[in-house]
């Protein structure tokens, strides 16, 4: 009998909660960078790009790649911040 009453006392202290953690919505700049499209390479696949346009095409691709890289770091920071908050 003592064991049963001790177990009831111990388990009676447990709090049950159906509350689920609330995740914040991503910021608008994170949504915008996620949705940003990489510029297409002009022309028909397999054809050459005119020399006069090569620098512009490479520049557009490089700028887009740098933007996407920054975006991935921003998303990683956002995720890390949310994770830290939920683990407190």
Q: What is the pLDDT along the chain (88 residues), one digit of tens a residue?
A: 555 555 455 555 555 566 777 788 898 999 999 899 989 888 898 899 999 999 999 999 999 999 999 999 999 999 999 989 888 7
Which helix (H) or strand (E) segment holds residue 75: the answer is: helix 51-87
Whether this prediction's pTM lies above 0.75 is answered by no
pLDDT (tens digit, 9 = 90+) per residue, 22-39? Answer: 788 898 999 999 899 989
The set of residues, in sequence order, having a beta carbon less than 8 Å from that of 59 and lying 6+ positions away, is none
Q: Do residues 41 and 53 touch, judged by C-beta distance below 8 A?
A: no
Which helix (H) or strand (E) segment holds residue 59: the answer is: helix 51-87
Q: Do residues 36 and 10 touch, judged by C-beta distance below 8 A?
A: no
Q: Do residues 25 and 76 touch, judged by C-beta distance below 8 A?
A: no
């Amino acid at each position: 009998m003592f064991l049963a009453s001790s177990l009831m006392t111990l388990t009676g202290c447990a709090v049950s909660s159906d509350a689920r953690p609330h995740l914040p919505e991503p910021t608008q700049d994170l949504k915008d960078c996620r949705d940003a499209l990489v510029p297409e390479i002009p022309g028909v696949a397999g054809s050459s790009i005119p020399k006069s346009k090569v620098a512009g095409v490479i520049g557009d691709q490089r700028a887009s790649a740098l933007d996407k890289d920054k975006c991935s770091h921003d998303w990683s920071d956002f995720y890390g911040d949310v994770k830290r908050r939920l683990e407190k």
